[in-house]
């Protein structure tokens, strides 16, 4: 066997040096663990609940104000959808807010369930579940308030029975 110092001999790693006394029992510094899944679910549920509901309420208000003159001529029969023709762009805005809020809210609900089950931001995931479940009720409430407020501010004073 050749010596490790000879040029043809085997190459060994540097000798092991023991760490200073008392350093073996110390734990490495604990960094803050990121919990992105629960936080992302919570942000999505807030966007779906607050933003979509606000846009839907605004669209309902503008729709009621714009369609109110046509509501005077309605009979007791079936609803004539042509009344909404002057405000079709605002009706489309309300419909886009509804569907976008629905899709984002369902995505937030699923992400919240996964975050709560996996433990990646469990608290934020549970909050996202609660907020996304309440979202449709908030949307419906703001839409109803917008419709009635829009009808109440028209000069005709028409409020359908």
Q: Please give the distance of CA 92 from its chain centroid, rounded to a whole number.
A: 21
pLDDT band at 151 (very low <50, low <70, confident <90, very high): confident
Q: For the chain, give every domain's residue range.
A: 53-72+83-152
pTM of the model: 0.70
pLDDT in tens, 8-61: 666 667 777 777 776 666 666 666 666 789 999 999 999 999 999 999 999 999
pLDDT band at 160 (very low <50, low <70, confident <90, very high): low
Q: What is the DSSP letter of 32?
A: P
Which pLDDT score is estimated for 82?
A: 78
Which pLDDT score is estimated for 126?
A: 95
pLDDT in tens, 100-122: 999 999 999 999 999 999 988 88
Q: 118 phi and psi, to 5 degrees?
A: -80, -30
Quote the strand ranges of the chain, DSSP E: none
CA angle 21, 25, 28 (to 5 degrees): 115
CA gyration radius for the chain? 31
Instruction: Judge contact between 128 and 44, C-beta under 8 A.
Output: yes
Q: Please give the distance of CA 151 from its chain centroid, rounded to a whole number.
A: 30
Which two structure tokens, joined as six digits, stand for 47?
Answer: 């966007």
């Amino acid at each position: 066997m050749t010596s490790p110092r000879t040029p043809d001999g085997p190459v060994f790693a540097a000798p092991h040096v023991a760490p200073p006394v008392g350093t073996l029992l110390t734990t490495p510094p604990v960094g803050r663990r990121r919990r992105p899944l629960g936080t992302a679910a919570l942000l999505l549920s807030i966007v779906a609940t607050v933003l979509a509901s606000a846009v839907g309420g605004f669209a309902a208000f503008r729709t009621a104000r714009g369609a109110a003159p046509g509501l005077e001529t309605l009979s007791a029969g079936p609803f004539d959808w042509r009344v909404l023709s002057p405000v079709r762009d605002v009706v489309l805005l309300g419909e886009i807010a509804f569907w976008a809020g629905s899709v984002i809210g369902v995505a937030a609900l699923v992400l919240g369930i996964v975050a709560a089950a996996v433990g990646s931001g469990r608290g934020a995931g549970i909050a996202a579940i609660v907020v996304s479940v309440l979202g449709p009720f908030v949307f419906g409430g703001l839409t109803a308030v917008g419709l009635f407020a829009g009808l109440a501010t028209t000069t005709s004073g028409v409020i359908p029975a």
